[in-house]
Amino acid sequence: MPFELKFSPLIVAGAIIVLLGLICDAIIIGRFLPAPQFRVTPKPWGLRALAVSVFILTGLVLLANGVYYLIATLWRNHSSSQFASIVLPSELLLRLVALTGFGLYFRYRQINTQKALGLDAMSLGAAAGWGVLFCLASLPPVGALIFTTDAFCQFFHINIGEQPIVDLFRNTHSPALKIILLLFALSVAPVFEEFLFRGFAYPALKQRFGLWRALLLVSLVFALSHFHAPSFLPLFVFAFGLGLAYELTGSLLAPITMHALFNATMILQIFYQRSHS
């Protein structure tokens, strides 16, 4: 009986993505590495503004978590999807309020938002295009780390679990909740996280610690902020790529696009696995 190879659509798609990623790695190396120009310039804020912002955001998060705990205690007999239908809109609102607060701060300080975030560094189309290339380039190393981490945990029988939002994507059957999840993962989360980590925190840290230490520190905090140990290394490497995308293009739209496309790739994988399980 002849040996037959069976390729699932997911394996074929993964191979294509890896090939595209390696091509994008070559393009980025050829474009930026011969004479790298780092484009994130000093900003009108520093470590004091960053510390105040972190203090306020931490307070908001702790307050929100206290409310969620109270709701969970009172709703013991309700389903997790009903609980999520309250928590997710609240999380969306929390991030929008935080972004509004930063906008008011910029207005008070008379900071030009476009200039401060590098949105005038190149055309929006070019910045988004580089974001796509950087995202594809990040997929081979990040995917390899995800595979290695999963294999390590399975070999040592470590229950890795899922991030809460991933678990919701896998298990929810509510169309409204799916829409909220997609809105959160593809727009609000990338914009908020890239503004906070790369747009606001990174320049302040760079002025104090230098480029590479700031990149490492922001990437470390980004990975830790997801509170999922098995995802730490993949998220750290991905965050480092987000920082490089910002530095090499000078536009925050590049890492925002990169982040949103990465989330979209993960969501497509989840939906495919769910439909074929």
- Dist. CA 159–CA 161, nearest whole Å: 6
Q: Which residues contact 23 (CB under 8 A, 6 or more apart)?
A: 136
* Residue 142 confidence (pLDDT): 96
Which of 92-99's residues contact partners 24+ apart within 8 Å by CB, and which partners?
92/180, 92/183, 92/184, 92/188, 94/60, 94/61, 94/64, 95/188, 95/189, 95/192, 96/188, 97/60, 98/57, 98/60, 98/192, 98/196, 99/191, 99/192, 99/195
This prediction has a pTM of: 0.92
Domain for residue 13, yes or no?
no
Instruction: Answer whether 145's CB lies under 8 Å from 237's CB.
Output: yes
The pLDDT tens digits of the residues spanning 186-227 come to: 999 999 999 999 999 999 999 999 999 999 999 999 999 998
Domain for residue 18, yes or no?
no
- The structural domain count of the chain equals 1
Average pLDDT over the chain, rounded to an integer: 89
- Higher pLDDT, residue 132 or 157: 132
Domain for residue 132, yes or no?
yes
Domain for residue 9, yes or no?
no
User: For the purposes of burial, counting CB atoms within 10 Å of the CB of 112, is it exposed (0-12), middle (13-18) or buried (19 or more)?
Assistant: exposed
| Alpha helix ranges (H) inside the chain | 9-32, 47-74, 80-108, 113-116, 124-155, 164-171, 175-183, 189-193, 202-209, 211-224, 232-249, 253-275
* Residue 3 confidence (pLDDT): 43
* Residue 277 confidence (pLDDT): 66
Instruction: Answer whether 254's CB lies under 8 Å from 128's CB.
Output: yes
Percent of the chain with pLDDT over 70: 93
- pLDDT tier at 79 (50, 70, 90 boundaries)? low
The pLDDT tens digits of the residues spanning 50-77 come to: 999 999 999 999 998 898 888 778 766 6
Q: How far is CA 34 from the centre of its chain?
A: 28
- Dist. CA 129–CA 133, nearest whole Å: 6
Domain for residue 222, yes or no?
yes
* Structural domain range at position 57: 44-275
Domain for residue 38, yes or no?
no
- CA of 31: how far to CAs of 9, 24, 83, 119, 248, in Å? 32, 10, 48, 20, 10
Domain for residue 166, yes or no?
yes
What angle do helix axes 124-155 and 9-32 make, rounded to 10 degrees? 130
DSSP per-residue letters across 70-89: HHHHHTTTS-HHHHHHHHHH
- Dist. CA 219–CA 225, nearest whole Å: 10
Write the DSSP symbol of residue 44. S
